[in-house]
Chain A
Amino acid sequence: MIILTNINKASTRSSLSKRLLFYTLALTSALFSASFVVLDTYISIHVLPDPYLFAQMSWITGSILIIAMMLIFSIPKRSIGKRHIPIGSFLDPNFKRLHIPEWDVLKFVLLGGAFMSFSTLFYFKLIEKFDASTFVPLMSFVIIYLIIGDFIIEKDNPTIIEIQAIIAIIAGIFISSLSQGEFDLESVMITLVIMNGLAAGVTISHKKATQWLDPISNKPLDSVTIRLYSVLIATVINTIVFLLVTNEEQKLIFKQEFWNSFLPVTASMALATLSYILFIRALRMGKMSIVNSLRSFSVIIAIPLTMIANFIYPQYVPFNFGGTTGIILKSIGAVLVLAGMISLAVSDVRVLALIKVSENGLSEIENIANLKGVTRVSALAGKYDMLVTIRTRSIGKGYRQTIRKIKEIPTIKEVITTTILKEWN
């Protein structure tokens, strides 16, 4: 009876479905992302115009912030028996207190952090010369790199629906950026080739990190830890670049402006940190190209946010409406992005396959786990030997790519497939 009392005292489960949670994470990440881009525009114009100083300040405040967050998040929120649930579990249910991850996963986290560092340097270099609104939308073209990445990492080629949706989102973002009316070949090339290449590197590395599972607890590495070690390595790399590239005068300005810029840069990095933690959580749940498509909604959200900031502080945050044509183009862009996102959201099918195997059939479990669309394979004790969870864009694709291939395995005796009509978690 004691056991039952403990069960009843446990917290009420969130009623968010997994799919809704995925879209909420990606879109909230987009909202935070749009907010820090607006704030960065203000800082780069009025507080720290030098890109190297801004980048260095960002990483230093980012490091202080994530260490402080990690310590606060580690405070126990409640206890279940001998197990202490830390505060950080509200941000990521897999949150684990401050620890050094195993090298198998840490290498991907550090690689992602290194890409982040160089990406930030180029971002600040661009923001120094060009209005963020002229090149930030082009950063969404990273999705094309990620479709290729998804194909390589998840062995999953995009469906027609996914391609249509992604094209609609990219076109929407591109049309929205056209309304800004300014294009510069240098910024376009740096953004398309270098920035997007580095951004793809960050996403692919961190996607690999999210796929790792702790061999003992079977839990993935939490998003706060991924952010912590990424920021720390990025700070180290950026500091080396800062010390090598900047002159004495810049270093002196950095010292003088440190406390003046501390608050706005910390606010920007707080938004960036929250955005990234939610992004990593979404990345764990879905394809890289889809998560980035959803996150690129920040370009659309940035428009009303910039308008509001411009309305309150016109002297600090510039905003060019582009006249009636600009407003029409922005509206068309927003509609296209929304249409793309909705079509992605409604075209997801999940199938469960219950499998019976002959003797030694369980040795095929890893091969099944590597099939296209397979999101989880559980070895079972009892009537069935395995339960395979398959995520696909259509039932036909699920059959062709997965079920048929499972049935072709000689040790598989019986496969019972069921389509999930509705799911809660």
Chain B
Amino acid sequence: MINAYILIDVRKGYTEKVVNELKPIDEIELLSVVTGEFDIIIRVSVKDLETLYYLMVNKIDPIKGVNETITSVITSDFK
């Protein structure tokens, strides 16, 4: 399994819309609306990197209001 964090910068006024479109995506383990440099941080769990690619290009990037994403694959988890 591949776990990753995706940091999402959202266009002003679109946060709720983006959250509502992200919520039904099954691969998202955790969805947090945050303050600061980014607007939303999600933790995803997928079978492999190819699935992560399809998740990004087919499900997350097309959401209207998503400005920029930074994907960081988790190499190891502590706790």
Docked CA distance A381–B23 (Å): 25
Judge whether A419 and B27 touch: CB under 8 Å: no
The minimal Cβ–Cβ distance linking A14 to chain B, given in whole angstroms, is 11
Judge whether B32 and A379 touch: CB under 8 Å: no
Q: Which residue of A lies closest to B27 (CB)?
A: A7
Interface bracket on B = 35 or more
Q: Which residue of B lies closest to A4 (CB)?
A: B54
Judge whether B70 and A422 touch: CB under 8 Å: no
Interface bracket on A = 35 or more
Judge whether A422 and B33 touch: CB under 8 Å: yes
Judge whether B74 and A425 touch: CB under 8 Å: no
Contact with A along B23-59 (1 / 0, CB 8 A): 1101111111111111001000001001100110010
Q: Indicate if A365 sits at the interface (CB-CB under 8 A).
A: yes
The minimal Cβ–Cβ distance linking A356 to chain B, given in whole angstroms, is 11
Judge whether B41 and A352 touch: CB under 8 Å: yes
Q: Indicate if B71 sits at the interface (CB-CB under 8 A).
A: yes
Contact with B along A330-369 (1 / 0, CB 8 A): 0000000000000000000010101000000000011011
Given A10-B26, A13-B26, answer yes or no on A381-B72 (Cβ-Cβ < 8 Å). yes
A-B contact count (CB 8 A): 108
Chain A residues proximal to chain B, CB less than 8 Å: 3-4, 7, 10-13, 15, 18, 81, 211, 213, 218, 350, 352, 354, 365-366, 368-369, 374-384, 387, 416-425
CB<8 Å pairs between A and B, sample of 29: A7-B54, A12-B24, A13-B26, A15-B23, A18-B30, A81-B47, A213-B77, A354-B7, A365-B76, A365-B78, A366-B78, A368-B78, A369-B78, A376-B77, A376-B78, A378-B3, A379-B76, A379-B77, A381-B73, A383-B70, A387-B5, A416-B36, A421-B35, A423-B33, A424-B19, A424-B31, A424-B32, A425-B29, A425-B30
